[in-house]
Amino acid sequence: MSALTSLTLKAALKGLADKSFSSLELTRAHVDAVEAARPLNAFVLETPEKALEMAAAADRRIAAGEAGPLEGAPLGIKDLFCTEGVRTTACSDILGNFVPTYESTVTSQLWRDGAVMLGKLNLDQFAMGSSNETSAFGPVVNPWRAEGSNRQLTPGGSSGGSAASVAADLCLGATATDTGGSIRQPAAFTGTVGIKPTYGRCSRWGVVAFASSLDQAGPIAKTVEDAAILLKSMSGHDPKDSTSLDIEVPDYPSFVGKSVKGLKIGIPKEYRVDNMPPEIEALWQKGIAWLKEAGCEIVEVSLPHTKYALPAYYIVAPAEASSNLARYDGMRFGLRVEGANLTETYEKTRAAGFGAEVKRRILIGTYVLSHGYYDAYYVKALKVRRRIADDFDQAFQKVDALLTPTAPSAAFGLGENADDPVAMYLNDIFTVTVNLAGLPGMSIPAGVDHNGLPLGLQLIGRALDEGTLFSLGGAIEKAADFKAKPAKWW
């Protein structure tokens, strides 16, 4: 079993194509691994029967010579993607037992290409959180532990289930979404690769909405090449999403392994924040040295509005969320708590169905959009957002990509930041700028800290230039030679 689950996606696809093993064998091994890993709480719904059915169908297509690019590969799906006939909750009580009658575009493309669904993965409720602790199903536990410690650590958030299940070899790859860092921060906390593509690359249709101008889907995977294979299937124009880009999807896997010689890499000086652990700074310097060795030219750049990105985000994202989440009114789907009249029914339903962090953000969003505050907060934040995007535009006139740490720390203990919302928000300090500007960003595991916990480096690219990120990510991956795996305790 462990031999098959420890394969990369790329190696598994090759084994399937060579008929070294069947999708049924590969899927069975992963189904068993998922079942054995329940202490991680990574899956909120296991779909073993569906998985084995899909695997059998994949085997038939392989035998018939009709294999798709992901044929027979078992994946995990973040429970924010609507899956037809399979419960989808956004890990919130307000969606209760919602069973979509349609399939999200991104997942439908994965099935089109032959992938197999193992089940639905845990996340912070409505993707609002950085530690998975806001999930109505309870937090995911990081498969990684500090050396010599039994303390339970967060896998990060919001895509904590996606990151943990990939790190623990429960699936060959997972879908995830990123509104302020929700793919990249969990990838960094679990020693996995995560990429948020350019806004508009992946269709948002059928993905439960949080903040529509920031939300973007992407994969979490074991290697840079695996991430490239998955993103290629997930991307592409969709007329059902008006912000989906009608631009050809490049062959991402072909960029991995390409020479990065002569590329100019910007190091934004504003990302050297106060109280950053020296280990993160040291890792950053290592990343710079690796890229120099690979032939890149290192250039210091300035993104002067960096420190304002998080506060701007905490206006823009809650404002959009308060509007998006107005649909949960207890009338057409999801939870309904009856009151004496219509208004009371709305109020009781939403009070019972939303978790504390979701309510907090809806209240902030409603406040900043309310009469008298709209210009002072919301419009101001949109102007600051423009300043942040302009900073990147100027930097990208001089460089081809940027290198930064992914997160300001390694994985922290569950419960550690629970009492201070602002302290929790600061987790996204290096990732959130990318969402505001709509740019692609990737996290690559690059080393471990003094406790043996993984740390990630982030690459930020020009809009639509995921290809360069895959080349650079491949170069970092090769130089870092990150081989550490969490010791199995579950």
Active site residues: 78, 158, 182
Indicate the length of the chain as a whole number: 490
Instruction: Mark residues 371-400: x for contact with another protein by CB under 8 A, - for none.
Output: ------x-xxxxxxxxx-x-----------
Query: In sequence order, which residues have a C-beta less than 8 Å from that of residue 323 and are 6 or more positions away?
Result: 365, 369
Per-residue buried b or exposed e for 255-281, using 16+ beta carbons within 10 Å of the residue's own CB:
bbeeebeebebbbbebbeeeebeebbe
Q: Does 438 bind another protein (CB under 8 A)?
A: yes
Give the CA dihedral 187, 29, 141, 224, nearest 10 degrees. Answer: -10
Contacts to another protein from residues 95-134, by CB under 8 A:
98-99, 101
Q: Does 214 bind another protein (CB under 8 A)?
A: yes
CB of 458 to another protein, least distance (A): 18
CB of 360 to another protein, least distance (A): 7
Q: Does 307 bind another protein (CB under 8 A)?
A: yes
Beta bridge partners of 268: 301
Look at residues 403, 384, 385 and name the one whose alpha carbon lies nearest to residue 395. 403
Q: Does 243 bind another protein (CB under 8 A)?
A: yes
What distance in Å separates the CA atoms of residue 153 and residue 252, rounded to the nearest whole number? 33
**Nearest residue (CB) to another protein, 137 versus 354:** 354
Query: In sequence order, which residues have a C-beta less than 8 Å from that of residue 447 and are 6 or more positions away?
Result: 283, 286, 454, 455, 480, 482
CB of 367 to another protein, least distance (A): 5
**Nearest residue (CB) to another protein, 113 versus 391:** 391
What distance in Å separates the CA atoms of residue 356 and residue 273, rounded to the nearest whole number? 30
Residue 261 identity (one-letter amino acid): K
CA-to-CA dists, residue 69 to 4, 17, 307, 468, angstroms? 19, 10, 42, 22
The answer to whether the beta carbons of residues 114 and 212 sit under 8 Å apart is no
Instruction: Mark residues 322-361: x for contact with another protein by CB under 8 A, - for none.
Output: x---x--xxxxxxxx-xx-xxxxxxxx-xx--x----xx-
Q: Does 39 bind another protein (CB under 8 A)?
A: no
Look at residues 106, 183, 226, 90 and name the one whose alpha carbon lies nearest to residue 434. 183
CA-to-CA dists, residue 264 to 140, 283, 356, 433, 472, angstroms? 38, 19, 44, 20, 11
Quick one: which segment of 53-61, 152-160, 195-203, 294-302 binds another protein (CB under 8 A)?
195-203
Map residue 325 onto helix, strand or coil.
Answer: helix
Q: Does 200 bind another protein (CB under 8 A)?
A: yes
Q: Does 487 bind another protein (CB under 8 A)?
A: no
**Nearest residue (CB) to another protein, 50 versus 360:** 360
Quick one: which segment of 65-73, 256-264, 432-440, 475-483 binds another protein (CB under 8 A)?
432-440
Q: Quick one: which of 311, 416, 485, 490 contacts another protein (CB under 8 A)?
A: 311
**Nearest residue (CB) to another protein, 232 versus 350:** 350
* DSSP state for residue 254 in the 8-state scheme: G
Q: Does 213 bind another protein (CB under 8 A)?
A: yes
**Nearest residue (CB) to another protein, 150 versus 343:** 343
CB of 347 to another protein, least distance (A): 4
CB-neighbour burial class of residue 165 (10 A; exposed 0-12, middle 13-18, buried 19+): buried
Q: Does 305 bind another protein (CB under 8 A)?
A: yes
Q: Does 315 bind another protein (CB under 8 A)?
A: yes
Residues that bind another protein (CB under 8 A): 98-99, 101, 198-200, 213-214, 239, 242-243, 245-246, 305, 307-308, 311-312, 314-315, 322, 326, 329-336, 338-339, 341-348, 350-351, 354, 359-360, 362-364, 366-367, 370, 377, 379-387, 389, 421-422, 435-438, 463
